[in-house]
Structure 1
Amino acid sequence: MIQLTRLNGKTFSLNALYIESVESFPDTTITLTNSRKYIVVESEEVVVSKIAKFYQSIQVLSNPHIRGDDDEKK
């Protein structure tokens, strides 16, 4: 989960695994895989950074096949 802030100042947690896209319109808009949208005060760069840290914390990026490596070094 990543912590974000709505435009009204209230914070909430969002499961980053369901994020499909992050865009700036100029407000940062997050679209989930179910088409639900959230508008947050954090910049697109901050949201993307939080997503990457979340993926690292659950070790999604530790799998060599997901990273694009052909074979894991033995």
Structure 2
Amino acid sequence: MIRVVRLNGEVLYLNYLQIELIECIPETKIRLMNGDYYVVRDSVDSINQQIQSFLKGCLYYENKCK
């Protein structure tokens, strides 16, 4: 899950596996596989960093268990 903040300040947690595309319009628009979209304050870079951090954490945990 990634944490994003809508323009009105509402915090959302999105499943990154459901993200179809991210646009910079100049706000950031996230469209999900089901067609829903969210306009958020977060930058594309910060969203990418959250996804990378989550995946690294999963890989680190997996390696630690071996």
TM bracket, shorter-chain basis: 0.7 to 0.9
Q: Distance in 2 between matches of 1:56 and 1:20?
A: 21
Alpha-carbon shift at residue 49 of structure 1 (Å): 1.2
1:35 equivalent to 2:15? Answer no
Pairwise CA RMSD: 1.6
Alpha-carbon shift at residue 52 of structure 1 (Å): 1.7
Partner of 2:57: 57
CA contact (8 A) 1:16 1:54 kept: no
Aligned length: 60
CA contact (8 A) 1:2 1:50 kept: yes
Deviation beyond 4 Å, 4+ runs, structure 1: none
Partner of 1:67: none
Q: Distance in 2 between matches of 1:17 and 1:57?
A: 16
Report % sequence identity.
37
Partner of 1:8: 8
Q: Which has the larger radius of gyration?
A: 1
**Paired letter, 2:51:** I
Structure with bigger RCO (C-alpha 8 Å, 6+ apart): 2
Q: Distance in 1 between matches of 2:12 and 2:28?
A: 15
Q: Which consecutive residues of structure 2, in runs of 5 or more, have no partner in the other structure?
A: none
